[in-house]
Amino acid sequence: MHQLALCDFELSIFSDGTYPLDGGAFFGVIPKVMWSRRVAADERNYVAAGLNSLFIRTGSHNVLVETGMGNKLSERMIKFYGQPAKLLDNLAAAGISPEDIDIVINSHLHFDHCGWNTVRDKTGKIVPTFPRAKYYAPEGEWQYARRPSERDAISYLPENYDPLVESGQMTLLKGGEEIVPGISVQTFSGHTAHMQAVIIGSGGGLPSGANAPNRVALNGTVRLASLAQGRLETEAVPSPVRTVRTACYISDLIPTTAHIDATWGMGFDLYPLDTIESKKRYYAQAIPENWLTVFTHDPKMPWAYIERDELGKMVAKGV
């Protein structure tokens, strides 16, 4: 289990499983001779993509960023992507029930990011999976999702969000809002026009420094935890190099650690040149401030620090 402490917040990764994606589409214009050095493809040229949700305990709120692929895919989509549908089981294994979630944030509304927002009840009616939660998603995404282009219409499944917007349970965001103290959203266009990253900690708008409240004070330890035989074993170890002050769920701007070079965008990106500019804007702040980056689709390394090595090449350093 991936878990760490960020000041007073506790951050954990929960997966909805993995699914196959065409390696060519996943790496856009990058030739296979290059991307296959980083990620292995099977005989059909598929690579494994993760579905990582970030769970944050702030002390006053339980926040879930992204809800995976869910369990409502059509037979046709299941043929392409399978339907691992493991998120609720993985949350339950850590003692977290759907009723425990106070806030759900979607970075954008593609089917593999908001699938568990809703489920079908016994009568087939679409109902919120997290009954008590306030849901948040980018307003521009929702507007676009109502009339998507023919290119990406398949990625938008209205039952994941329309019933929540209609009932008032989902709030639409302009970008830049602070949702709870220490958790805010910021628009990074490229993958879609309105995708929002979720920023947690001092980079999320909270003051830092000597006079800052406790929850943003420097925390000298990173807590590593493992779930062994159903028991959460927590080991506090001194952080030798740095402190987690800010984490960012960067979503499909940088879907995996193999996509950290500015020009390694996905073929799915609607605005590939914007992806490059948005990555540069992100790195300009995240690298000097040592942000922990959370990767939606990395099946092995859900979070890492992004650095430049001596040659200026981008590298991901695991926690």
Q: Rounded to the nearest whole angstrom, what is the least distance from the CB of residue 113 to Zn ion in the complex?
A: 6
Are 301 and 255 within 8 A, CB to CB?
no
Q: DSSP string spanning 155-192? A: G--GGGTHHHHHHT-EEEE-SS-EEETTEEEEE--SSS
Q: Which is nearer to Zn ion, 112 or 162 (CB)?
A: 112
Q: Which is nearer to Zn ion, 196 or 219 (CB)?
A: 196
The CB density around residue 319, as the number of other CB atoms within 10 Å, is 15
Main-chain dihedrals φ then ψ at residue 185, nearest 5 degrees: -120, 150
Q: Rounded to the nearest whole angstrom, what is the least distance from the CB of residue 213 to Zn ion in the complex?
A: 35
Site string for Zn ion, 58-97 (x = CB under 5 A): ----------------------------------------
Q: Rounded to the nearest whole angstrom, what is the least distance from the CB of residue 282 to Zn ion in the complex?
A: 16
Q: Rounded to the nearest whole angstrom, what is the least distance from the CB of residue 273 to Zn ion in the complex?
A: 17
How far apart (Å, rounded) are the C-alpha atoms in residues 259 and 41? Answer: 15
Q: Which is nearer to Zn ion, 10 or 162 (CB)?
A: 162
Are 47 and 26 within 8 A, CB to CB?
yes
Strand 103-105 and strand 62-65: pairing? parallel
CB under 5 A: which stretch of 175-183, 228-236, 244-252, 279-287 binds Zn ion? 244-252
Give the binding-site size for Zn ion (rule: CB under 5 A): 2
Pick from 16, 66, 252, 298: which binds Zn ion (CB under 5 A)? Answer: 252
CB under 5 A: which stretch of 86-94, 219-227, 247-255, 270-278 binds Zn ion? 247-255
Strands (E), 23-92: 46-57, 62-65
CB under 5 A: which stretch of 1-9, 105-113, 116-124, 272-280 binds Zn ion? 105-113
Give, in degrees to the nearest 5, the angle at Cα 267 between 263 and 270: 90
Are 25 and 38 within 8 A, CB to CB?
no
Q: Which is nearer to Zn ion, 9 or 144 (CB)?
A: 144
Are 116 and 87 within 8 A, CB to CB?
yes
Q: Rounded to the nearest whole angstrom, what is the least distance from the CB of residue 142 to Zn ion in the complex?
A: 14
CB under 5 A: which stretch of 92-100, 110-118, 274-282, 311-319 binds Zn ion? 110-118
Q: Rounded to the nearest whole angstrom, what is the least distance from the CB of residue 297 to Zn ion in the complex?
A: 9
Smallest Cα–Cα separation from 293: which of 254, 236, 237, 238?
Answer: 254
Pick from 61, 110, 245, 259: which binds Zn ion (CB under 5 A)? Answer: 110
CB under 5 A: which stretch of 22-30, 78-86, 103-111, 168-176 binds Zn ion? 103-111
How far apart (Å, rounded) are the C-alpha atoms in residues 316 and 319? Answer: 10
Q: Does 279 bind Zn ion (CB under 5 A)?
A: no
Full 3-state SS string of 191-259: CCCCCEEEEEEHHHCCCCCCCCCHHHCCCCEEEEEEEECCEEEEEEEECCCCCCCEEEECHHHCCCHHH
Q: Which is nearer to Zn ion, 162 or 252 (CB)?
A: 252
Residues that bind Zn ion (CB under 5 A): 110, 252
